[in-house]
Amino acid sequence: MSNINLIDSFQEFKDFKNIDRPTVISVLEEVFRSMLRKKYGTDENCDVIVNPDNGDLEIWRTRKVMEDGFSEDDDLEIELAEVKQLDPDMEVGDDYIEQITLESFGRRAILAARQTLVSKVLELEKDEIFKKYKDRVGEIVTGEVYQVWKKETLVLDDEGNELMMPKTEQIPADYFKKGDSVRAVILKVDMVNATPKIIISRIAPEFLQRLFEIEVPEIFDGLITIKKIVREPGERAKVAVESYDDRIDPVGACVGMKGSRIHGIVRELKNENIDVINFTNNISLYITRALSPAKITSIKLDDETKHASVYLKPDQVSLAIGRGGHNIKLAGKLTGYEIDVYREAGEEDEDVDIEEFSDEIDSWIIDELKSVGCDTAKSVLALSVDELVKRTDLEEETIKEVMSILKSEFE
């Protein structure tokens, strides 16, 4: 019975998904050799043979035949009188080889061995999973949603390994249910309490980079390089690309015919707005491209403080800033410069700085308007009430009152 239990346990783990057969055999042999050392004091004269295909196990023990009274170590030697009872043909100097049966170890030792085997293999499997995923950090993985909790989602890969996607690594518009297929990038792999913890992310810049590599063959082949990616997940992203082949337009290649290549990426990222920008070492030009779709009139740079003052026509300011300030914020991250935008008024334009109305309009309202690029009276009046309600946190009544005050300035 004990023999069956041990072989059954071997069958349980001999096909563990992350461990190769030589490793399994090595573990089995070491466990059995440990049992031999406990029983006989040594295993150096024992051979352990494991057949990984059918689970067969053979243990052979070899002892030197000695003259009676001359054996110094019964674990390595056997006296002639004793061996003659087992094999009459044995002579002094011969090697007596006997097979050790599993039953001879006793039931308790076999159960302990079974437990040790399973424990060692589970430990090995965890190490293998850790090594496998540690080398794959930054790669895209596809899995199936197994469990959704408030703060994280459990995803299983195609081998059943557990991947964790915290809520903080999900796009705000992501919504998953059990059974959904999900793509993400492997963000980090840690060992927590001897168990590998694999964190995956859909908001990391690397995720967007891998998606581009999948959709754009020129990036995968190295003809186009992604220089930098910045993201406000689910809102907007800016990708700076460069081509090493003058015949290839990097932006056109990334976007594809009628947006064919980028559409799939945008859908994967829940309609995240993606600006693909041609990289250049000319900082002024780089900032101009980064603030797209706004059209810049002029730029003043301070390279020491990494500060850029950008001047635009009034109707371009809101485009440069973007909804929620995402456009200007990402342009700053992409270029490494702190960017301030200024409205460039024409000579014929008479405008009044909104700060001059501080005696009639509360300062917090002025700050809110300035945060969306409305720093003069005419820039506020150029927008509709509905547009200002959308862009700011101000109530409709407040905006109407402000516009009434500003209009009276030009009447």
pLDDT tens digit at each of 411 positions of the chain: 334 344 454 555 545 555 666 777 777 788 888 888 888 888 888 888 877 666 677 888 888 888 887 777 777 888 888 888 888 888 888 888 888 887 778 788 778 877 877 787 788 888 888 988 998 999 999 999 999 999 999 999 988 899 999 999 999 999 999 999 999 999 999 988 888 999 999 999 999 999 999 999 999 999 999 999 999 998 999 999 999 888 899 999 999 898 899 999 999 999 999 999 999 999 999 999 999 888 898 999 999 999 999 998 877 888 888 888 899 999 999 999 999 888 775 544 567 788 878 778 888 888 888 888 888 888 888 888 888 888 888 888 998 998 888 888 766
Q: Phi, psi (5° rounding) for residue 73?
A: -145, 105
Residue 12, pLDDT score:
53
Q: Do 239 and 274 touch, CB atoms closer than 8 A?
A: yes
- What is the topology classification, in CATH, of domain 141-202? OB fold (Dihydrolipoamide Acetyltransferase, E2P) (2.40.50)
Place of tokens 């460069």: 242
- Domain-by-domain residue ranges, the chain? 1-125, 141-202, 279-343, 352-407
Q: Do 166 and 151 touch, CB atoms closer than 8 A?
A: yes
Residue 123 forms beta bridges with which residues? Answer: none
**Length of the chain in residues, anyone?**
411
Same fold, 1-125 and 279-343: no
Q: Residue 65 half-sphere exposure, CB side, CA atoms within 13 Å?
A: 19
Place of tokens 């690594």: 169
Q: Do 82 and 64 touch, CB atoms closer than 8 A?
A: no
Q: Is-cis flag, bond preceding 293, omega within 30?
A: yes
Three-point CA angle 345, 349, 354, nearest 5°? 70
Distance from C-alpha of 101 to C-alpha of 103, rounded to nearest angstrom:
5
Instruction: State the CB neighbour count (10 A cutoff) for residue 15.
Output: 10
Alpha-carbon distances, residue 84 vs 13, 68, 90 (angstroms): 42, 11, 6
Tell me the residue ranges of DSSP E strands in 20-138.
46-50, 57-66, 77-79, 95-100
The answer for residues whose C-beta is within 8 angstroms of residue 350's C-beta and 6 or more apart is: 410
Architecture of domain 279-343: 2-Layer Sandwich (3.30)
| DSSP assignment letter at 295 | P
Residue 6, pLDDT score:
46
Residue 332, pLDDT score:
94
Distance from C-alpha of 87 to C-alpha of 232, rounded to nearest angstrom:
82
Residue 338 forms beta bridges with which residues? Answer: 307
Class of domain 1-125 (CATH, top level): alpha beta
Residue 347, pLDDT score:
47
